[in-house]
Structure 1
Amino acid sequence: MAWEEWDQIKAEVTTRQADQMRLNQLAPERGGGGTTPDLASSPAKKQAAVKAINDDLEPGVERDGKHAAVSVSAVVKEFGARDGHGWDTSGALKKAHEAWEKQVKMLRGRLATEKGLLSATAIGLQNNDIDIAGQLAQQSRIDGY
């Protein structure tokens, strides 16, 4: 590829990125970029997210983590030292798997945290709604006039 072609490609990419980043246009009619909001603000949606984490994500991460551990352990053993000799691959796979296990553990912790926060948010928002409704329902001082 000639330098001229490379410069032309870079210029086209830069122009395309600039077009995508322009902020000098009117906002969409309903605000935001999409036609539907991304925020799951209803208690039902939060509970559905908690159920998905609980029923699908957490068991899947645990299952797949165990499967990978068994598979990698078998490979490490197969490539390990026999009669004083072994493959470097064995040690490298073992180190890589240890790092991967830490990441899986962190992911499981993050999922548990998100599940707890979703549940707490739903309860907190419901309590706020009840409190605000109670404040609004109080009789105003001018109602008696």
Structure 2
Amino acid sequence: MSSPAQNRAAAQKIETDIEPQTKDAGAAADHDTNTAVKAFQPKDGDGWLTSAALKSAHETWGHQVGNLMNRLSYEKSALRGNATLQHGTDIGVGSGLRGISALDRL
């Protein structure tokens, strides 16, 4: 189990490092793939199957990156929500356990 501070730190790491790097990595292949797709396109009615295959693979890659970005966003939100829940629970339990002691009346 992690502390609220650890949950907040993990959520921050996702937001500031992992999400931007994942987005950049997902987009990195765009230019080169598009260039290759164009290079293998049919010319004068005769082309390579490679062009369509590359285009299809790139579309699949884009969907997978999108799904990963959605998952990272979900996990980030869950970590932040859990940090808030843990903090509130800690305060609630602490105040509920702390009763009035005979020593308080002195």
Q: Which category of TM-score, normalised to the shorter sequence, fits these structures?
A: 0.7 to 0.9
Secondary structure of 1:82 counterpart: coil
Percent identity reads 40
What count of residue pairs does the alignment treat as equivalent? 103
What corresponds to 2:21 in structure 1? 60
Q: What residue number does 2:82 align with?
A: 121
The residue aligned with 2:71 is 110
1:139 CA drift (Å)? 3.1
In structure 2, runs of 5+ residues without a counterpart are none
Indicate the residue corresponding to 2:31 in structure 1.
Answer: 70
Aligned-residue Cα RMSD (Å) equals 1.8
- SS of 1:130's equivalent in the other structure is helix
TM alignment of 1:66-105, pairs within 5 A: 66-105=27-66
Instruction: Give unmatched runs, 5+ long, in structure 1.
Output: 1-38
What amino acid sits opposite 1:108 in the alignment? Answer: M
Q: Deviations over 1:21-73 (max 9, x none)?
A: xxxxxxxxxxxxxxxxxx4x112221221121111111011111111122211
Larger radius of gyration: 1
Residues of 1 paired with 2:38 and 2:59: CA distance?
15
